[in-house]
A = this chain, B = another copy of it.
Amino acid sequence: MFCWLKLLNPGVVTPTGRVNRLIWGSFSRSLVLSSQRRIPEFSSFVARTKTCGELRSSHLGQEVTLCGWIQYRRQNIFLVLRDFHGLVQVVIPQDESAASVKKILCEAPVESVVKVSGTVISRPPGQENPKMATGEIEIKVKTAELLNSCKKLPFEIKDFVKKTEALRLQYRYLDLRSFQMQYNLRLRSQMVMKMREYLCNLHGFVDVETPTLFKRTPGGAKEFVIPSREPGKFYSLPQSPQQFKQLLMVGGIDRYFQVARCYRDEGSRPDRQPEFTQIDIEMSFVDQTGIQRLIEGLLQYSWPDDKGPLGVPFPSMTFAEALASYGTDKPDTRFGMKIVDISDVFRNTEVGFLRDALSKPGGAIKAIRVPGGAKYFKRKDIESIRKFAADRFNQEVLPVFLKANKNWNSPVANFIMEEQGLGLTRQMEIQEEDVVLLTAGEHRRACSLLGKLRLECADLLEARGVVLRDPAVSSFLWVVDFPLFLPKEENPGELESAHHPFTAPHPSDTHLLYSEPEKARSQHYDLVLNGSEVGGGSIRIHEAQLQHHILEAVLKEDVKLLSHLLQALDHGAPPHGGIALGLDRLICLVTGAPSIRDVIAFPKSFRGHDLMSGAPDFIPPEELKPYHIQVSWPTDSEADKNSLNHPHHPES
């Protein structure tokens, strides 16, 4: 973790591996002022008159009272005091008359909390610290009070040694004092506040709180259950306020938003949290374009000043195009290396597996070009790429290098005919030192594999020093025209919603719902930032009849569970649509934090534990009685099986 002392040195490396050129002073300024039109009064209602971090030469001669933590002490002469706003140097008085003040300031352990009063004075000439925002001044102390003493810390806060995340989570209240956590949480608060201003004050949205104790939704296998005091009856914690926001539209709220707590029980998954937050939005009388323009405006308005302006509108891409060119529904468009269909080049190939692929319906030959791959990749890199393809996709990947002599270097080099070679070079724009990775198979499968390889190769190139993705760039993208349904994984003969059953079909495809629903596209849209999905939404079905058809005839769901929603649609539901932004992920990308756990004050470990308090925890059986439940303790053999499933899962 980023530690405080490092902040005094410019150019230190953050845990994200990026060079961070900001020092504490400029950090603290951006922390407090960015995206705020006026400076809040940070010292109203409290014992201090100023914050440590705000003092400048303009305050010279002022009498101030400061409250903060002892950051460090130098030879019992200076003490650096810290608050959320920054650091300031305090001069420990040495004269006999101030012995009690000196005693307090010299004896208090580091990280103790003190209150000092004194005068802002200039530092002696030559002793200014230009790297510190308050480096021109220091505090001549008159009185000091120890507010609380700090016991021995579990880890040296100043320690340059990186702490394990488990230790950070166990002592989260200490970890929160780090600059990085302060920065992340404050930026999160400010961005959300700006979003609220945009929605509420500029565009008339109504902030409505919806319940979290709700009824199980059809297929809601990932919903936590909460026993009620009625035997056998349970509430469920919803994964999103989806039903409620649609009902609010039926209720004439017109424009709804909520910074909504959502819940998802997925067991152990890295970088997921059992509770998370989304910016949840719904509007009546809106179409897809309306939602897109709203969100672009929202992000533009709330985007931190120091992250550069956002260009709008964001580019848009169909799902089909995203899959074909990037092998994913969330393309990272900060760099090229797009997937190219080279089936035509190899239409007459003699290479067996390429011919096989082309002969099958939907079969194709696809490739990506890695610029400089021949220069930066080692033999073992190529081997591990091929192994990855074989292990995870059961697919063959062929590397193709263009040698300086214009000959090919590839396992299939002998089979590349001249015409094919020229075609390949032309279509892929191959240059010397590039490598082309080529695969063949069913379109979707081949693209997915190359999409994965594209990202692997990008990581590899960057690890070798190639700058591919500018960390200062925020590359937003809309992905649209998703399929409405997908074949069920466990039973491909049946369909399930690609997103959720309330998504409206694409206007041109409504007729397909009654004939070939698997071919219907939807009015769903995803928002992608730098290759991560940060939001998704859709225009919803507002006609009861269509909704009923989809639930019952297409999805074979039990419509009774949703009878209230179907009834609502029948009682004058306006056309409506909405979106939800994943706030944790978005803030994570904006701050450059390595994990969403770094933008959440008290996250769970990836096994869902609160390492600080020890939740979840055992509960005495008598406290379960009012809920009419009892624990089904697993038998020994089940317990063994269970632990086998998680053989090596140390916390975080």
Contacts and interface: CB of A to CB of B under 8 A. Distances in A.
Interface of A: 32, 36-38, 40-42, 44-48, 67, 69, 82-84, 111-113, 115, 147-151, 153, 171-177, 181-182, 185-186, 188-190, 192-193, 196-197, 200-216, 221, 224-237, 243-244, 247-248, 250-255, 261, 263, 265, 267, 274-275, 277, 283-287, 290-291, 293-294, 542-544, 564, 567-575, 600-602, 604, 608, 610, 612-619, 623-625, 627-634, 639
A192 B193 CA distance: 12
B213 A286 contact: no
Given A174-B571, A209-B601, A215-B617, A41 B203 contact: yes
A208 B185 contact: yes
A244 B602 contact: yes
Contacts of A147: 285, 542, 574-575
Given A151-B570, A173-B568, A208 B225 contact: no
B69 A148 contact: no
A213 B618 contact: no
A543 B32 CA distance: 30
Contacts of A212: 212, 261, 275
Contacts of A237: 226
Contacts of A625: 632
A46 B290 contact: yes
A227 to B, nearest CB: 7
A630 B632 contact: yes
A192 to B, nearest CB: 6
A165 to B, nearest CB: 16
A48 B200 CA distance: 19
Contacts of A171: 567, 571
A73 to B, nearest CB: 14
A69 B252 contact: yes
A280 B213 CA distance: 21
Contact of A153 (B234, B571, B618, B631): B571
A630 B632 CA distance: 6
Interface centre among A36, A41, A173, A237 (most CB of B within 10 A): A173
